[in-house]
Chains A and B, each alone.
Chain A
């Protein structure tokens, strides 16, 4: 169903008027309000974002082919696993230091499943040191599932998913110990990392392992770029699941977030131009309290 341009314009104008009105309303006592009007812009953005993603998922489900650009870092995972197999050494998967309530850890767990499947196919041991106890059962389940998917459930070794410590540097010391003692040929680091990122990545570099890292913590990205062979930057970490599985519904969601990104770039450009000419009302619509 096609919506006429004029109607679309009217609809968008109504939304902006609603935002404008909501932001100008003074809410005296927020603790007695059922809705924070000053956050209506965020609600509209979320609803719009969700609608776009669902639209693209539905489109993908109908069989519309969706292009996804090549991500060198993700292609390198298989190369790294292959290298470890050739050398007869294990693969080390590090899922960051945060708990499963962090979306980066969830993304890391999704990648872990794919890596486990790949590793099982090559008969290579997979070592998974864990920082947070809640991640342990999730990681165990993902690795087990990966081995089962590859048709080798008997190759799964439960002791290879190891809880190290919830303390940041105790964990880093534990992981460094594994790198130096067991000499994995491939180190895969995906998830949320902080100051320990370089400590682990440099140790991995010194052991000569091929290293692929991915995080959305921008302050750690330069460390990974320097110390690792391939780095997956920011959003690419969240695209991994779609990229590796090529499942239409996941690719659809990726396409949806790309469209929203393009719209945001458009708004940013428009806002910059308007601000340059002293028109500040437009940018006010995007303020969040």
Chain B
């Protein structure tokens, strides 16, 4: 029963979402909407699992005074401080101008933006490696990339007025053809995996036999 019940739930939930695509009737859609709300509630509970995992893992490190244990204290305190100021009405909840809001806009938001901005440097270093001409394919890649880059800036059009159109052709024909081939393959693979999961053929993700 440990496997049959999850497979049955999975099958019913999966079928309901497939049927939703084909049945536009108002009454049926309201049932599907209810199922979707259930799933949102269940997902919300999962945050408790996440929090317990985070506390357990970091608590063990603090308890054993392992490497970086001081940072773990800050992490756990930070989690609970944010949680408390967000939940307890005394601190104003999550409204604008509250402590929670301040933490979001002046700590989390800039930190995330910092991580995102690092991407520019990572792209530069990755591009440097990718465009090193060592093989025929790498040469083709480098030449195409250089052409696309030149064609996408005003100087490209100055050099040759047909440059932007040529670049559009590269992007819309060979590039898009390759991309769509991968997309079709991936979509079929996804449908096939979904079918295996729904019918219980693929049950390894459920764990123990």
Contacts and interface: CB of A to CB of B under 8 A. Distances in A.
Interface of A: 30-36, 39, 42-43, 46, 49-50, 53, 57, 99, 101, 103-104, 106-107, 109-110, 113, 130, 132-134, 136-138, 141-142, 144-145, 148, 158-159, 161-163, 166-170, 172-173, 181, 195-196, 198-199, 201-202, 216, 218, 221-223, 225-227, 233-239, 241, 245, 249-250, 253-254, 256-257, 260-261, 264
A167 B112 contact: yes
A162 B53 contact: yes
B2 to A, nearest CB: 11
B122 A238 contact: no
A253 B195 contact: yes
Interface string B107-122: 0100110011011001
Contacts of A46: 18, 191
A226 B111 CA distance: 26
8 contacts: A130-B50, A133-B48, A142-B207, A169-B115, A170-B115, A198-B122, A201-B126, A225-B130
A43 B22 contact: yes
B182 A218 contact: yes
B53 A136 contact: yes
A141 B204 CA distance: 10
Contacts of B54: 162-163
B11 to A, nearest CB: 13
How would you classify the secondary structure of chain A's contact residues: helix, strand, loop or mixed?
Answer: helix
Nearest to B13: A101
A144 to B, nearest CB: 7
Interface in B48-74: 48-51, 53-54, 56-57, 60, 67-68
B158 interface: no
A170 B66 CA distance: 22
Contacts of B204: 110, 113, 142, 241, 245
B60 A199 contact: no
Contacts of A109: 205
Interface string B170-209: 0000000001001111101111111111000110111110
Nearest to A239: B189
Interface size class of chain B, counting residues whose CB lies under 8 Å from the partner chain: 35 or more
Q: Which 8 residue pairs across A and B have the least CB separation, nearest first? A: A133-B50, A238-B189, A141-B207, A169-B115, A235-B189, A235-B185, A234-B186, A216-B186
A218 B115 contact: no
B21 A162 contact: no
B50 A218 contact: no
B46 A134 contact: yes
B77 interface: no
Contact of B43 (A99, A222, A235, A256): A99
B161 to A, nearest CB: 29
Contact of B205 (A138, A222, A239, A253): A138
